A and B are shown apart, each in its own frame.
Chain A
Amino acid sequence: MTRTAPAPARPVRRPSRGRLAVVALGIVAALLAVRIVTGGADVDLPDLLSDLITFTLSVIIESLPFVLLGVLLSLVVQVWVKDAWISRVLPSAPVPRRIVLSLLGVVFPVCECGNVPFARGLMLRGVPVSDSFAFLLAAPIINPVTIITTHQAFGFDDGILVVRLVGGFLIANLVAWLYSRHPEPERLLTDRFAAECRMPHSESGGRAGRALGIFQHETASMLPALFLGALVAGAIQVAVPRDVLLALGTHPVLSVLAMMALAIVISVCSSVDAFFVLPFASSFLPGGIVAFLLLGPIVDVKMLALLRTTFTPRTLAQISGVVALACLAIGLGVNLVS
């Protein structure tokens, strides 16, 4: 019996950069042409479908710049920031390190959508998984944009601003501390992201090329999640009558639960959620307003979809439970003293 030697692998011919550039620009031109042609079409969709599309696209378009900013910050951290700089900035002791991470939003105010890719970048550079929660959960609340807009909306009335900041800080550090005791923190991550974290940090190739590679990789994770989160958030908007929730405003317990439910379904950006909830302040007790402002930036439909790119469903369920209980306790406490 004669054995045939395997044929040598043929080198894969990659199209030239010039040809790829033509293809890329052709795709952009085709998309633009389709968009222009369909933009003026007189299509009479049913109200619910039309509103579902408007809601879904609204969430995507509103989130897009923040997601892109987060991806850009993430690739800067991965490509241009040196390990020595990270270890110099972050304290080695766990508690101070988590405190510093929970205040990092002050210098990187990228909204909750952008925080996910940024946190992924931090973990890929060796920041512990549990510590990343301190950043992820606190940064949407403790950042200058959110602080200014919350102050513009409420001033110091009913202590809403102070409770929001202190509550966000405490919840983030509580969750980070809880998970710092986890014996196998890698099990909190999706298999794929855990595998990425295990890989050695690559310094090969040009920085621009590596940065574009990270851009491509992160958008492949973030955009499908954003689309799905936006679709679910949009579907809830057309399916759940909002006045059902708002009828519960003056009950000391139900008002808090109703505003927490609203925070989860509304998926509004943390930088402006104070303006959104301001009109409800006259019909809802302050505990409900505080619970909305604490829970929304951490746990909402869109945010959960984005976090799902990185964490297992079990982890997200646990975090949602802990955060919701903490927000409920704080909201009830505010109603008790107000």
Chain B
Amino acid sequence: MSDTHAETVAYVAKTQYDPQPPPVASSGVLGWLTQNLFSSISNTIVTVLAIALIIYMLPGMIEWAVLHSVWNAESIRECREIITNAFGEGATGACWAVIHERFGQFMYGYYPPSLRWRPDLAAVLLIVAMVPVLFRTMRPLAVAMGVLLAAKALFAVYAELTGGNAELVGPTTIAAVIFGVLALVFGSEKTRPYWLWLTFAYPVAAYFLLWGGLGLETVESSRFGGFLLTAVIGVTGIAGSLPLGILLALGRRSNLPILKAICTIFIEFIRGVPLITLLFVASTLLNYFLPPGTNFNIVLRVLIMVTLFASAYMAEVIRGGLAALPKGQYEAADALGLDYWQSMRLIILPQALKISIPGIVNTFIGLFKDTTLVSIIALQDPLGLMKPILSNSTWNGIVWELYIFIAFMFFICCFAMSRYSMFLETRLRAADRR
């Protein structure tokens, strides 16, 4: 039977062919290009325009920011002189020397230089406090401490080479070594509850480290500034708004009418008022309502306002997560005989919070960037610090360098938060598949 058609068919494959590479146009670099950048006429036009734009802008930017930049100068005039001497009349370049000179101010504001190890130590402890919350094991902490020590060593070498002096062994180094070793030895998942106690103790430790007390010299909050202030406001707002937001969200969905009304009014009021208004209230009006002579710290007032503001937004994000859960989950929890808090803690919130992660992180990032608004009530956050620096005739005339530096620092923080959120989503999705 099979022979019948042997002559009618021109060719019959007798063996399995080796797999061939796909056509050139659909694989490799060329394939990626045709599929992604030149798949249609409109796509091609967009690609060409974008490349043209990059070619048009990039060389100028690199020339300004890198090739023609000046890192060491006493004043903007010296910067301009150096650039003119090196690259001819009319050349422009970035004068990063201002960042170099005012780096300490951008980091700590007017915090006394001799006490700056305290915010440093608070920052190290912040990492220690954050890792048990963010990860399952303590291994990332060991890595972070290692990176920190390496950075510190590099900085010391740099300082040695440029004639400055950086103390290598300080409180931060010791803390980093201790916690790094602890994390290596006792870093398994089982020890996490013990580490979490450190997290709960952190706010107290940070308060005394930053403001003083317990034998430490007191530091006026008017001396807080720069990214230290941003971090204090941002971290407090983030850490405070999540639990407050959860409570508010639960309250708003509660069956108790008065509690529900209070939570709803609070959330709607705060969401209906711009943050800047609340900051003005914190900075000026609150003074009138408090008994005269009360010295209610401006930074503390701002911290409270920012936390309340963020918690209202957080409450709505979490309420969205709660509403997204099927009713069956609530009923199942009730059917198991769990009381309200047990059912929330064990069944409802773990699921609701997981759904809300992108929204929560979004609120965090928004809050972190909103901290720059405090410059309007004259707190010395990085943006607020720009004005007194630029008013010094040594640097008057510089604009872009400072904005770029601040934007870069904010980008690092916000990008890190965003990546962590994606990491967390992936990890929790893996739990779904199990």
Q: Does A associate with B in a complex?
A: no
